[in-house]
Structure 1
Amino acid sequence: MGHDHDHPRRELPPGMLEQLEIAYSGMVSFGQRPFLTEPEQLDEWRPDVAIVGAPFDIATTNRPGARFGPRAIRSTAYEPGTYNLDLGLEIFDWLEVVDFGDAYCPHGQTEVSHANIRERVHTIASRGIVPVILGGDHSITWPAATAVADVHGYGNVGIVHFDAHADTADEIEGNLASHGTPMRRLIESGAVPGTHFVQVGLRGYWPPQDTFEWMLEQGMTWHTMQEIWERGFKEVMRTAVSEALAKAEKLYISVDIDVLDPAHAPGTGTPEPGGIASVDLLRMVRQLCLEHDVVGVDVVEVAPPYDHAELTVNAAHRVVFEALSGMAARRRDAAGQQPGPPSPRGPRA
C-alpha cells in the first residue's frame, strides 16, 4: 500500500490553511485535508490516500438521497481529531491524505456517471495512491472496484463487503446497473472473482434462494447476522479477516452503511433492522486495513435526507477515519516504531 515517504511534506498556503482549520466554516474538504482537483496536483503532492466523492443515486430501489452523501460526510460530520487512542498514533504523521473532489455525475445519466467514477478512481489508483470513495448508492462499487482491478490486475483483488444485502442480483426491474447488482457485475466481468468475496452482515428478506444458489456456485463466502448472533462478532471478525487474507493479496473494502442497525444509521435508502453496531464495524474495518494490503475503500448509501442528528454521517465519517488509522498503523509497524502508551485499564493499585 502506498509508497516510500522520500518526498518532503508540502505545506498549504496560509489562506487555504485558515479555510481548513475550522470544521464548521470555510471550504468543504474531508478531514480538512488539502483539496486537489487535477491529476497533476496528485503528481505534485504524491499522497498515500485520496478521498473522492461519487454523488450518484439514481440506481436506488427505495429511497434516493445518497447523492448528497459525499458533501454531508465532508461538511456535517463532527471533526474527530487525528489521533487514534487505541492505536496510539497521529494518523497524518504516517499517512499523507488529500481530498480529490468528486467524480462528475450528471443527473439521470448512469453510463456517463459510472464511466466518470471509474476514470477518476483509476486516476488515483494508477499513481499508487489508495482511493477512498464516498458514495453515492452501491452501484458505484462496480466502476470503482473495476478501476482498482484495472490497476492491480483482474483476479488479484479481493473484496470484503459489509452490507445487509448481498447485491448479487442479475437485474432489478430490468436494470443491470442497480444498486442491488454491482457484485454480480464485478464477478461476471472477471474483475473480482466470486471466490474473492467475503460478505458480512447479511439479513432480512434478500436475496432469495435462487440468488444464494448462484452465489454458492461462484464460491462466495458470507457471514449473516444470524451467525454473528450465534457465534459473537469477535469470533466472526477473526474468521472474516483470515478469509480475506486467503482470498487475495490486495483487498478492497466496500461498506454499505445499512450494514449497521438503523438505530446507528437511520439515514440510508434501505434500512434493515437487526444489523451490527457501529463499534463492531469500526473495529473490523480498522483491523482489515491494519493486517492487509488495502488498495481501495468505499462507503456508500449514506442518505442525509433521512438522517437524524447526523448519526449516519458521523458513523460513515468514522468508518473512513478508522480505515485511515489502520493504514497508518500498518505503515508505522513496518517502520518498527512502537505505539504510544495505552490507556490505563481498571483501578490503579
Structure 2
Amino acid sequence: MSELTAPPEWGGPSADPNDEQFGDVIEGATLASAGDYDAVLVGEPYDGAVIGRKGAAEGPAAIRRELAETKTHHVERGPVASVGDLGDVGIPDGGVEAVQSAVRETVTAIYDADAFPVFLGGDNSLTVPNAAPLLTDGTLGALSFDAHLDCREVRGDPTSGTPYRQLHEAGLDAFAVVGARHFETSTAYHDYVAERDGRVVAPEVVERDPKAAVDEALDSMGDVDSVYVSLDLDVLEASAAPGVSAPTPGGVTTRELFEMLGHVAAHDRVAGFEVVECAPPLDDGFRTARVAARAVAHFLSGLEAAR
C-alpha cells in the first residue's frame, strides 16, 4: 500500500474577518478520523499515463491553492463546513499497472474507513484504482463528465485513455458519459460503449437542461448499488479550461458543469468523486485550477446539503 503524505496546513488568505473560505474550514485528517467528515480530499500527483500533454502531476497542489481562497457559501445551499484532507497518495516508481495496484490498496483503506473520498488528480488512469474498490461491495455504475469515452484497448501499459475499458473488464455494471464531444472518439469505442448499454449524453443535451442530462445518465444505470463520479476537466469548453491534456472546442460551460455537479452529488448512491487532468504547466492564469476548485466546491455543497 502507498503511504499517505501529511496533509497540508490550510488557511484562508482573506484579511476580512467576515470572510469564510475553504482554507478556514478544511482540516487535516487521518484514516482514523476520515469517517467523521462529509468528505475527505485525497491528492494524487501523477501523470505517468497521459496520452497527450503532461502536467497533471501538479494538479493537486494547484487545486488546493485555489480552493483555499474560495468562499464556502453557496447562494441556495449555504456554507460548506465538514471537509477533511488526508494528504497525497504516495506514487511508487514503476509502470502504470504497478502504480494502479499500489494506489488501489490505499484507496481501499479510505473506503474501509467509511469515508467519502474526493480525489484531486492527477491523470485519468487513476480512475481505475479510485473506483475499483467499490466493485467488491455490490453493483457499480461510473458517471463520467468527459470529452472522451476513455475506453481504448489496453496495448501494453494502461494509459489515461483506457480506464473504463479496464473497469468494464473488472466487472463495471453501468457506464454513462456526459459532455462527450462529436468527432473526438472513434466509432469502435462508441460501439464498445453501446454494446454494454452505456449512455453518451452530448453537450447540446446538457445545454437544454443540465440537471435532466444528469438524470438521463443516472437513469440509464438502473438500480446499481453505487455510482462513482469522475470529472475530466476537458469536458469544458477549451477557453474555460486550457490547462488540460487535450483541450477541444464545443464543450460544456462552467455554469452547466457546476449545476450538474451540485445535482449529482445529492444522489444517495454516489460513493466517490474525482477531478482529473488539471495540468498547471499548461494553464493560462490559473484558469483551469480555479475552475477545478469551484467544481469541487459545488460538488461538496450538493453533498453536504443532501446529508
- Scaled to the shorter chain, the TM-score interval is 0.7 to 0.9
Check 1:268–1:223 CA distance in 2 against 1; reply closer, same or farther (3 A cut).
same
On the 8 A contact 1:158/1:247 being kept in 2, the answer is no
On the 8 A contact 2:92/2:102 being kept in 1, the answer is no
Q: Does 1:20 align with 2:18?
A: no
Partner of 2:80: 91
Q: Of 71, 74, 78, which residue of structure 2 is paired with 1:81?
A: 71
Partner of 1:124: 110
CA deviations 1:243-275 (Å, max 9, x no partner) are 45x352322110000000111100001111110
- Give the 3-state SS of the residue equivalent to 1:315 in structure 2: helix
Partners of 1:39 and 1:232 in 2: CA distance? 39
Partners of 2:33 and 2:95 in 1: CA distance? 28
Instruction: Note the 1:122-271 alignment, pairs <5 A.
Output: 122-150=108-136, 152-153=137-138, 156-171=139-154, 174-190=155-171, 192-193=172-173, 196-228=174-206, 231=208, 233=210, 235-243=212-220, 246-271=222-247
Partner of 2:19: none
Check 1:35–1:305 CA distance in 2 against 1; reply closer, same or farther (3 A cut).
same
On the 8 A contact 1:121/1:148 being kept in 2, the answer is no
1:20, distance to aligned residue in structure 2 (A): 3.0
Partners of 1:290 and 1:111 in 2: CA distance? 33
- Give the 3-state SS of the residue equivalent to 1:291 in structure 2: coil
Q: Does 1:60 align with 2:50?
A: yes
- Give the 3-state SS of the residue equivalent to 2:117 in structure 1: strand
Q: Does 1:282 align with 2:251?
A: no
Amino acid at match of 2:197: G
Q: Does 1:35 align with 2:25?
A: no
Partner of 1:105: 91
Partners of 2:211 and 2:265 in 1: CA distance? 16
CA deviations 1:171-215 (Å, max 9, x no partner) are 3xx34411001001001111x22xx11111111433211222121
CA deviations 1:101-143 (Å, max 9, x no partner) are 1111135542332223212221111122111111111011011
Partner of 2:3: none
Amino acid at match of 1:79: E
On the 8 A contact 1:24/1:75 being kept in 2, the answer is no
On the 8 A contact 2:11/2:68 being kept in 1, the answer is no
On the 8 A contact 1:23/1:75 being kept in 2, the answer is no
Partners of 1:283 and 1:233 in 2: CA distance? 7
Bigger CA radius of gyration? 1
Check 1:101–1:35 CA distance in 2 against 1; reply closer, same or farther (3 A cut).
same
Partners of 1:228 and 1:90 in 2: CA distance? 27
- Give the 3-state SS of the residue equivalent to 1:274 in structure 2: coil
Structure 2 gaps, min length 5: 1-6, 16-21
Moved more, 76-85 or 132-141: 76-85
Partner of 2:248: 272
On the 8 A contact 1:148/1:296 being kept in 2, the answer is no
Partners of 1:183 and 1:86 in 2: CA distance? 34
Partners of 2:31 and 2:211 in 1: CA distance? 41
Partner of 2:276: 300
Check 1:219–1:31 CA distance in 2 against 1; reply closer, same or farther (3 A cut).
farther
Amino acid at match of 2:160: H
Partners of 2:223 and 2:237 in 1: CA distance? 28
Partner of 2:40: 50
- Give the 3-state SS of the residue equivalent to 2:244 in structure 1: coil
Check 1:41–1:289 CA distance in 2 against 1; reply closer, same or farther (3 A cut).
closer
Percentage identity across paired residues of the two chains: 32
- Give the 3-state SS of the residue equivalent to 2:28 in structure 1: coil
On the 8 A contact 2:31/2:113 being kept in 1, the answer is no
- Give the 3-state SS of the residue equivalent to 1:117 in structure 2: helix
CA RMSD of aligned residues (A): 2.5
Check 1:76–1:286 CA distance in 2 against 1; reply closer, same or farther (3 A cut).
closer
On the 8 A contact 1:77/1:310 being kept in 2, the answer is no
Amino acid at match of 1:131: P
Q: TM-score, normalised by structure 2?
A: 0.87
Q: TM-score, normalised by structure 1?
A: 0.77
Partners of 1:112 and 1:206 in 2: CA distance? 29
1:90, distance to aligned residue in structure 2 (A): 2.3
1:147, distance to aligned residue in structure 2 (A): 2.0
Partner of 1:341: none
